[in-house]
Amino acid sequence: MSDAAADSLVSRSDAAARARAGVAYGLAAYLWWGVAPLYFKIIVARAPGREVLAHRILWSAVFLVSLVLIRRQGPVLWRVLFRTPRVLVVLVGTAALICVNWYLFIWVHETGQVLQASLGYFINPLISVAMGYLILGERLRRLQVLAVAIAAVGVIYLSIASREAPVIALALACTFAAYGLIRKLVPVEAMVGQTVETLLLAPLCIGYLIWTGMNGGGAFGGGSTLTDALLIAGGVITALPLLWFTCAARRLPLVTVGFLQYLAPSGQFLIAWLIFHEPLSTPRLVCFVIIWIALAVYSFDAIRGARTKPR
C-alpha cells in the first residue's frame, strides 16, 4: 500500500471516529433535554419556580467557571468580562433572553403545561429560519417558505379552535431562536459566552436567594438534603448537555444536528402525555400533526440541500 493510500485510509478512519463521537454527544445532549421534564417536575414540587431558576443559574455559573478553568480559558473569560465592553453589552441581552426562556420552561412544569414546551421547541427551528430571513436577509428556498407557512397554519388553527393562542410555546420558541441568532453573531466561544451570561445573572440570583432566606422562605437549607442536592444538581443538568451539544456541533454536519434536535421535544411530548397525563385535546393534536408535517418538509429540504451542495 502506498503512503498516500495509507494516509487516505487513516483520514477516513479518523473522520468516521469523529462522526461517531459527534453522534454520541448529540444523542446524549438531546436525550438529556428530552427527559429533563422528569427532573423539573420533581424539583418544582419541592421549591418555588423562581428559587429553582436562581439556583439553576447560580450552580451553572459555578460548574461552567470550573470547566473554563480546567480548559485553561480563564484569560479568554477575563478578556470578555473586562476588555470587550461591546461584546459584554450584547451578552447582557442574551443573558436576559436565556433567563426568560429558562424561567418559562420551569413555569410550565409548575402549571402542568409541558406540552406547551414541547410545541415550542418543535416550532423553534422554523422560527429561527424566519428570523434569519427577516433580520439577516438570508434567502429562503421554496420548501423552507412552505414549511414556515405550514407551521403558521398550525398555530393559527390551534388559536382559533381552542380560542387561545399558544403564547407560552411561541414565547419559548422566540426567546430561544432570538438567543441563538444573537449568539451566532457574537465572536465568543460557546462555553465562554455561556459562562459570562450566567456570571452576569449570578449576583441577581444571590441577592434574591438572600432576600428570600431573610424573609423566612427558600427551600434550600430547609432541612431536606435531597432538595438541596437537587437544586445544586440543576447547574450540572443545565450546563452539561450544552457542553455535549457544543462537542456534537463541532463534529457533525448541521443536517445531522438538525435531525437530532427533534429528540428533545419528542421526549418532552411523550413524557407530558404518557407520564404527566396532560390532556391532549383534538385541536392540540391537530396542531402537533401540522407542525410535524412542516418539520418533515423542512428536513426534506435540508437533506436535499446537503446532497446537492458542492463539495
Q: What is the pLDDT of residues 207-245, one digit of tens each?
A: 999 998 888 778 887 778 899 999 999 988 888 887 788
Percent of the chain with pLDDT over 90: 41
How high is the pLDDT of residue 17?
Answer: 76
3-state secondary structure of 276: coil
| CB-based contact 248:15 (threshold 8 Å) | no
Higher pLDDT, 131 or 104: 104
* Rounded Cα–Cα distance for residues 275 and 269 (Å): 10
Angle between helix 114-136 and 3-44 (nearest 10): 130
DSSP state of 262: T
- Residue 10 reports pLDDT greater than 50: no
How high is the pLDDT of residue 42?
Answer: 93
Average pLDDT over residues 166-183: 89
Higher pLDDT, 159 or 61: 61
| CB-based contact 35:271 (threshold 8 Å) | yes
Q: Cα–Cα distances in Å, from 202 out to 54, 75, 149, 213? A: 8, 20, 40, 16
Instruction: Count Cα atoms within 13 angstroms, Cβ side, for 169.
Output: 29
Average of per-residue pLDDT values in the chain? 85
| CB-based contact 40:103 (threshold 8 Å) | no
- Residue 5 reports pLDDT greater than 90: no
How high is the pLDDT of residue 195?
Answer: 93
Instruction: Count Cα atoms within 13 angstroms, Cβ side, for 191.
Output: 24
Query: Would the pTM count as exceeding 0.95?
Result: no
* Rounded Cα–Cα distance for residues 10 and 13 (Å): 5
Q: Cα–Cα distances in Å, from 117 out to 25, 112, 173, 270? A: 23, 10, 9, 12
Please report the DSSP string for 126-154 in residue order: HHHHHHHHHHH-----HHHHHHHHHHHHH
Residue 58: pLDDT band by 50, 70, 90 thresholds? very high
Average pLDDT over residues 87-105: 93
Q: Which residues contact 240 (CB under 8 A, 6 or more apart)?
A: 32, 63
How high is the pLDDT of residue 110?
Answer: 93
How high is the pLDDT of residue 185?
Answer: 83
Question: What does the pLDDT look like over 12-25, one tens digit per residue?
Answer: 666 677 778 888 88
Q: Residue 156's Cα: distance from chain center in Å?
A: 24
